[in-house]
Amino acid sequence: METLPLDLLGAIDDLRRQRNAVILAHYYQEGDIQDVADFIGDSLQLAKAAQTTKADVILFCGVHFMAETAKILNPDRIVLVPDMAAGCSLADACPAPLLQRMKDKHPAAKVVSYINCSAAVKAISDIICTSSNAERVVRSFPADQELIFAPDRNLGGYIAKKTGRSMILWPGTCIVHETFSERRLIELVSKNPGAHVVAHPECEPQILGHANFIGSTSALLDYVVRTEAPAFIVATEPGILHQMKKAAPEKLLLPLPGTDESCSCNECPHMKRNTLEKMYLALRDLQPRLEMDETLRQQALIPLDRMMALG
User: Which residues bind to ligand 13P, rule: CB under 6 A?
Assistant: 27, 42-43, 88, 116, 130-131, 174, 200, 202, 216-217
Largest CA distance in the chain: 61
DSSP of 98-123 = HHHHHHHHSTT-EEEEESSS-HHHHH
Using the minimum distance from each CB to ligand SF4, give the nearer residue, 176 or 254.
176
Which residues make Cβ contacts (< 8 Å) with residue 193, sequence separation at least 6? 230
| 22 Ramachandran zone, left/alpha/beta (phi>0; psi -120 to 50) | beta
Dist. CA 31–CA 200, nearest whole Å:
20
Using the minimum distance from each CB to ligand SF4, give the nearer residue, 8 or 219.
219
Q: Which of residues 45-104 bind ligand SF4 (CB under 6 A)?
A: 63, 88-90
Minimum CB distance to ligand 13P, residue 130 (Å):
5
Is there binding between residue 175 and ligand SF4 (CB under 6 A)?
A: yes
> Quick one: what does residue 130 bind among ligand 13P, ligand SF4, none, with the CB cut-off 5 to 8 Å set by partner type?
ligand 13P
Which residues make Cβ contacts (< 8 Å) with residue 273, sequence separation at least 6? 82, 83, 85, 86
DSSP of 128-191 = EE-TTTHHHHHHTS-TT--EEEESBHHHHHHHHHHHT---EEP-B--TTGGGB-HHHHHHHHHH
Using the minimum distance from each CB to ligand 13P, give the nearer residue, 53 or 116.
116
Using the minimum distance from each CB to ligand SF4, give the nearer residue, 116 or 216.
116
Using the minimum distance from each CB to ligand SF4, give the nearer residue, 24 or 231.
24
What is the enclosing helix (H) or strand (E) of 300?
helix 294-309
What is the enclosing helix (H) or strand (E) of 34?
helix 31-36
Q: How many CB atoms lie within 10 A of CB 100?
A: 13
Minimum CB distance to ligand SF4, residue 46 (Å):
12
> Quick one: what does residue 175 bind among ligand SF4, ligand 13P, none, with the CB cut-off 5 to 8 Å set by partner type?
ligand SF4
Query: What residue type is 130 in one-letter code?
Result: T
User: Which alpha helices (H) appear in 227-293, and where do they start and end?
Assistant: 241-247, 276-285
Q: Per-residue x/- marks for ligand SF4, 216-235, CB under 6 A?
A: --------------------
Using the minimum distance from each CB to ligand 13P, give the nearer residue, 200 or 297.
200
Using the minimum distance from each CB to ligand SF4, give the nearer residue, 27 or 280.
27
> Quick one: what does residue 216 bind among ligand SF4, ligand 13P, none, with the CB cut-off 5 to 8 Å set by partner type?
ligand 13P
> Quick one: what does residue 270 bind among ligand 13P, ligand SF4, none, with the CB cut-off 5 to 8 Å set by partner type?
ligand SF4
Q: Per-residue x/- marks for ligand SF4, 178-217, CB under 6 A?
A: ------------------------x---------------
C-alpha distance from residue 297 to each of 47, 121, 280 (Å)? 15, 11, 28
Minimum CB distance to ligand SF4, residue 265 (Å):
11
Q: Which residues bind ligand SF4 (CB under 6 A)?
A: 28, 63, 88-90, 116, 174-176, 202, 237, 268, 270-271
